[in-house]
Amino acid sequence: MTTLTTKVARKIMRKQGVGRTFFNDKLSTGERSLKVWGWGPAQYEKAKRKLEKKGCSVKLVSFVNYKQKIQIRLHVTEPQG
């Protein structure tokens, strides 16, 4: 089954032509963690707004990785039902 998070990510990737590969992993908390190679803050903000409009709870998470680069993810809780 395709998740709402996947649908939104694919739509933004197609429309903007940005992003090659995405990861939509399920976390132990039940949230989905979305990472898209090639996306910057603008694409993540757009995805966050779209998902919130569809009833999802979304957190924008950023951290510095071992190469001292900022990594951004969206942690999404999709509506049940």
pLDDT digits (tens, 9 = 90+) for 9-54: 999 999 988 888 999 999 999 999 999 999 999 999 999 999 999 9
Where do the structural domains in the chain lie, given as residue ranges? 4-77
CA-to-CA distance for 35 and 62, rounded, in angstroms? Answer: 11
CA-to-CA distance for 4 and 20, rounded, in angstroms? Answer: 19
pTM, entire model: 0.87
CA-to-CA distance for 39 and 48, rounded, in angstroms? Answer: 13
Residues 53-75, mean pLDDT to the nearest whole number: 94
**Are 19 and 39 a contacting pair, CB within 8 Å?**
yes
Q: Say if residue 1's pLDDT is above 90.
A: no
Sorting pLDDT into bands at 50, 70 and 90, what band is 81?
Answer: low
CA-to-CA distance for 76 and 22, rounded, in angstroms? Answer: 14
